[in-house]
Chain A
């Protein structure tokens, strides 16, 4: 079945460091890919998305590129801030399907 695999956390970085959170997927068909963020005590917020191969999603300094050849959608940010501390979820959905399939999440801790 469809699945999403994320790197395990926590990822601990100093402020202004470069961030990469790896995400790979397995899907039958051509999924749309998403990154969601969950701040402490809150629900999930859509961070960015990409709907076809080679698309780059970007928002708030975060970027991810849909790589069909490597079935990956790695999240990157050039300079993290303390306020970026949260849990990040990679997810996919297939055309015509109704469900999001999530990875297990990666906790990011940014220290001042």
Chain B
């Protein structure tokens, strides 16, 4: 079992550009959540996808959008990048949409905006 896999592992983008991050959930999981972890901080919830729909969203602007595919994999898109978007982006997968009881995390994508 490969667990939760994210790609790429590192990424450098220029302010104003757009970026797409990818996540494949753990085998048997159908729910994907995305978190932003700024340096020295705890992860902040961005949104969660289940059955290809966004089910809940944290306090993030519309520049952050996502998608879930029929195979349960997911993408996080960020438009009009700001320097403050530099962070570790974590994907977490779990089973079922009712509650986030045990989420398994990927190793993350380190995004640097210059």
Q: Interface residues, chain A, CB within 8 Å of chain B?
A: 4, 32, 36, 41-46, 49, 51, 89, 91, 93, 95-105
Q: Contact check: which of A32, A46, A95, A103 meets B42 at CB < 8 Å?
A: A103
- Chain B at the A interface: SS class: loop
Q: Considering only CB atoms, which chain B residue lies closest to A44 in the complex?
A: B105
Q: Contact check: which of A32, A51, A98, A103 meets B33 at CB < 8 Å?
A: A98
Q: Considering only CB atoms, which chain A residue lies closest to B44 in the complex?
A: A102
A-B contact count (CB 8 A): 66
Q: Interface residues, chain B, CB within 8 Å of chain A?
A: 4, 33, 35, 40-45, 48, 55-56, 58, 90, 92, 97-108
Q: Known: A43-B90, A49-B102, A93-B99. Is A102-B107 also a contact (CB below 8 A)?
A: no
Q: Known: A99-B45, A100-B43, A102-B42. Is A45-B105 also a contact (CB below 8 A)?
A: yes
